[in-house]
């Protein structure tokens, strides 16, 4: 019986019998048992049988192709070309080819492969454009762009560095966003910290796009926009974790995460190229204060469906293990309240750390203490969180500072700003003895429930020193358990990578050392090094389904806010301020006759911050003589007043450096009078 049917399925265009082997088992495709015998026959016997029983061969071969097509449709192109057309012509393929066909074999499979390759090359990439938050702490802002649609993630500020003299805030450069404002479909905010919402009021003045975020975040944003006078013109939309928002061709899903402020969310952004996940600031807290745990299940579901790229918080990527739960701080407060005894307790913390503030209220109520809130930002946040139900306390727990003056120290807790040593914060003013309503004494027990942000160590240290000199006991050591971070450590980041299984990995939020450590961590998790991108502000990351590259840039950087001025202070102004702060100022003034160029009055030389005038009379008299000589020399060459002013500046500069080895800022003023 097997010999009767050998050779069925022979394709005369094939180069050998290797492609004619039947499936490994009958059950795989449900073929008749006799088909198994085909694999044991050599090509010669198959040819003989085909010539003897073409009808039987044709029937069995048709069945073979049909069954294979049903079971493994991905193999159709290997045998039949494309789709139903290939099935229709399958029996015909077994006929003996003509001489012409032998000379020109069909190349359908190669052509199809070529088409797929061309299609891949033409795929439009999705662009990830960081405008802040990379290589720095704060100023977080990222654009997701696909063709004519842009979605903005966060819009935060940063605090000025030491050399940014007189600067109040630093915000991202919005040049690219303003230029492409017609493409902006919406702004999505991950949570309500200043480094994620602080610059939003400045952006909305330029680009009035709809804003989407959770309830508490929108409440905090409303306060900022009201202060900026643009609340009525803004389009604010409240969402909750699990909601999806359609923005152009992209779908943005909000996913609950744990952080040091309620309503924090990660984002899953479905684009035509693939799904992107942005973690925002996060940690995995198994015992959160509000009882709402991070939605790890949703991260896993997205990972099973396929994640193109994961953008992960890098702030604590250097630190091993997992971040402790926020509840641990509450236990520490219990211990410290007992230690304080009958002393007044003052606690400095971040104003936006509502979970921390909630625990302070809870412990204060257990110890029958009234709570005073001090500091403008602390008062604003506590008021909003209380009104919206995120802070739960008894009606009589919080009291005004004036009423607290009549209470004994043992009945009072003061929650204040100033945990970072900010010069104008409430705690700093207390340490300097400049607070209008609170005077610190040796009967105060002070807790600084935060760790210094990099760069603030000296400021915090000075506040602690000042308070201790007043006789206060100050608790500030991190080892006391008075602070836990709101950011994930290495094990938590690994968990998110393991759940989402991204093809590409992009570290975000942190200095370069944090981004580099997060890259190392991703490599440990099995992501190929070439699939990991450590970006830079302004560098465009282009992603397709199988490639990533950084080739182009957009305008980006830091825009400084000084008072009401935005961007009008640049490097030149800062350089002048630095020079003024280091070597002071000298102003030289002279009055000339318009007709003759003769000196009518002066020169006068005035110093500020350069030398002590009363002890430097000889130096300044010499400067006047140098100035007189410079004017006479310049007038003799022509009365171009720009040249006269330049001559005064250059010769005075040389004179002062030769005498003091310092270079003050010199301003020359020449008055011209017509007689």
Q: What is the DSSP string of 306-336?
A: --SEEEEE-TTTTS-S-PPPTHHHHHHHHHH
DSSP state of 558: E
From the list 259, 355, 483, 487, the catalytic residue is 487
Q: Considering Cα of 89, then 93, then 94, then 99, what sign does the dihedral take?
A: positive
**466 catalytic residue (yes or no):** no
Find the helix packing angle between 327-340 and 354-366, rounded to 10°: 40
Q: Quick check: bond before 603 cis, omega within 30?
A: yes
Q: 313, 444, 466, 562: which is the annotated catalytic residue?
A: 313
Q: Is 313 a catalytic residue?
A: yes
The CB density around residue 127, as the number of other CB atoms within 10 Å, is 19
Q: Which tokens go with 357?
A: 């503030």
Q: Where are the alpha helices (DSSP H) in 614-669?
A: 617-636, 641-660
In 3-state terms, the chain is what percent helix, strand and coil (to 5)?
40, 20, 40
Cα dihedral: 637, 642, 645, 649 (round 10): -100
- Could you tell me if 170 and 160 are in contact, meaning their C-beta atoms sit under 8 angstroms apart? yes
Element (H, E) at 507: strand 504-508
CB 156 within 8 A of CB 132: yes
- Report the Cα 514 to chain-centroid distance in Å: 12
For residue 569, CA distances in Å to 131, 168, 187, 444, 559 come to 19, 11, 27, 42, 8
DSSP string, 433-465: T--SS----TTEEEEE-S-PPTT-HHHHHHHHH
From CA 133, how far away is CA 172, in angstroms rounded? 9
Q: Write out 208-265 in H/E/C secondary structure.
A: CCCEEEEHHHHHHHHHHHHHHCCHHHCCEEEECCCCEEEECCEEEEEEECECCCCCCE
- Sequence-ordered list of residues with C-beta below 8 angstroms from that of 406, at least 6 positions apart, any chain: none
Is-contact 262 355, C-beta < 8 A? yes
Element (H, E) at 305: helix 296-305
Question: H helices then E strands: how many in the chain?
Answer: 23, 25
Rounded Cα distance between 259 and 191, Å, is: 9
The Cα-based distances of 197 to 137, 158, 167, 581 in angstroms read 14, 11, 19, 32
The 184-188 sheet, strands edge to edge? 236-239, 211-214, 184-188, 149-153, 141-146, 126-132, 539-543, 548-553
CA 19/CA 14 separation, integer angstroms? 8
Burial of 469 (C-beta count, 10 Å sphere; 0-12/13-18/19+): exposed
Q: Please give the positions annotated as active site.
A: 313, 487
């Amino acid at each position: 019986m097997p010999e009767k049917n050998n050779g069925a399925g022979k394709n005369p265009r094939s180069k050998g019998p290797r492609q004619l082997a039947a499936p490994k088992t009958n059950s795989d495709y449900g073929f008749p048992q006799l088909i198994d015998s085909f694999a044991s026959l050599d090509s010669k016997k198959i040819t003989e049988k085909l010539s003897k029983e073409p009808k039987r061969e044709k029937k069995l071969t048709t069945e073979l192709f049909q069954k294979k097509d049903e079971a493994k449709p991905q193999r159709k192109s290997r045998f039949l070309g494309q789709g139903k057309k290939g099935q229709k012509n399958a029996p015909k393929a077994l006929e003996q080819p003509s001489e012409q066909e032998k000379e020109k074999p069909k190349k359908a499979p190669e052509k199809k492969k070529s088409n797929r390759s061309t299609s891949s090359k033409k795929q439009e990439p999705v662009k990830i454009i960081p405008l802040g938050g990379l290589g720095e702490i704060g100023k977080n802002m990222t654009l997701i762009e696909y063709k004519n649609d842009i979605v903005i993630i966060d819009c935060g500020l940063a605090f000025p560095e030491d050399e940014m003299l007189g600067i109040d805030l630093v915000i991202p450069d919005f040049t690219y966003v303003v230029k492409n404002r017609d493409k902006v479909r919406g702004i999505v905010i991950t949570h309500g910290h200043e480094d994620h919402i602080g610059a939003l009021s400045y952006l909305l003045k330029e680009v009035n796009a709809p804003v989407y975020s959770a309830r508490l975040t929108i409440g905090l944003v409303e306060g900022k926009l009201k202060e900026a006078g643009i609340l009525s013109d803004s389009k604010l939309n409240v969402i909750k974790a699990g909601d999806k928002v359609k923005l152009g061709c992209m779908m943005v899903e909000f996913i609950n995460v744990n952080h040091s402020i309620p309503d924090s969310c990660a984002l899953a952004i479905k684009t035509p190229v693939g799904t992107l996940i942005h973690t925002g600031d996060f940690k995995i807290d198994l015992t959160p204060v509000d009882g709402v745990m991070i939605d790890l299940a949703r991260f896993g579901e997205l990972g099973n469906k396929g994640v193109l790229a994961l953008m992960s918080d890098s702030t604590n990527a250097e630190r091993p293990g997992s971040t402790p739960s926020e509840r641990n701080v509450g236990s520490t407060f219990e211990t410290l309240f007992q230690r304080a005894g009958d002393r007044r307790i003052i606690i400095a913390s971040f104003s936006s750390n509502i979970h921390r503030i909630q625990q302070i209220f809870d412990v204060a109520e257990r110890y029958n203490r009234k709570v005073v809130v001090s500091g403008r930002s602390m008062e604003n946040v506590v008021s909003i969180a209380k009104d919206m139900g995120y802070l739960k306390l008894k009606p009589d727990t919080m009291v005004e500072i004036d009423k607290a003056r009549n209470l004994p120290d043992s009945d009072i807790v003061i929650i204040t700003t100033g945990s970072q040593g900010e010069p104008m914060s409430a705690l700093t003013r207390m340490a300097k003895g400049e607070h209008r309503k609170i005077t610190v004494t040796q009967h105060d027990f002070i807790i600084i429930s935060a760790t210094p942000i990099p760069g603030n160590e000296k400021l915090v240290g000075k506040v602690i020193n000042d308070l201790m000199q007043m006789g206060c006991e100050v608790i500030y050591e991190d080892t006391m358990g008075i602070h836990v971070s709101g950011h994930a450590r290495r094990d938590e980041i690994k968990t998110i990578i393991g759940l989402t299984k991204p093809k590409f990995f992009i570290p975000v939020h942190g200095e370069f050392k944090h981004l580099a450590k997060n890259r190392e961590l991703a490599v440990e998790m099995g992501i190929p090094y070439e699939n990991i991108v450590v970006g830079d502000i302004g560098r465009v990351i282009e992603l397709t389904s199988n490639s990533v590259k950084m080739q182009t840039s957009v305008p980006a950087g830091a825009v400084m806010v000084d008072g009401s001025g935005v961007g009008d202070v640049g490097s030149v102004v800062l350089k002048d301020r630095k020079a003024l702060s280091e070597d002071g100022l000298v102003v030289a003034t002279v009055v000339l006759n318009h007709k003759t160029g003769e000196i009518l009055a002066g020169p006068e030389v005035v110093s500020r911050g350069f030398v002590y005038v009363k002890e430097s009379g000889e130096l300044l008299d010499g400067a006047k003589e140098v100035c007189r000589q410079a004017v006479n020399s310049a007038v003799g060459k022509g009365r171009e007043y720009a040249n006269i002013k330049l001559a005064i500046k250059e010769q005075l500069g040389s004179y002062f450096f030769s005498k003091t080895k310092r270079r003050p800022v010199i301003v020359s003023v020449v008055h011209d009078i017509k007689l």
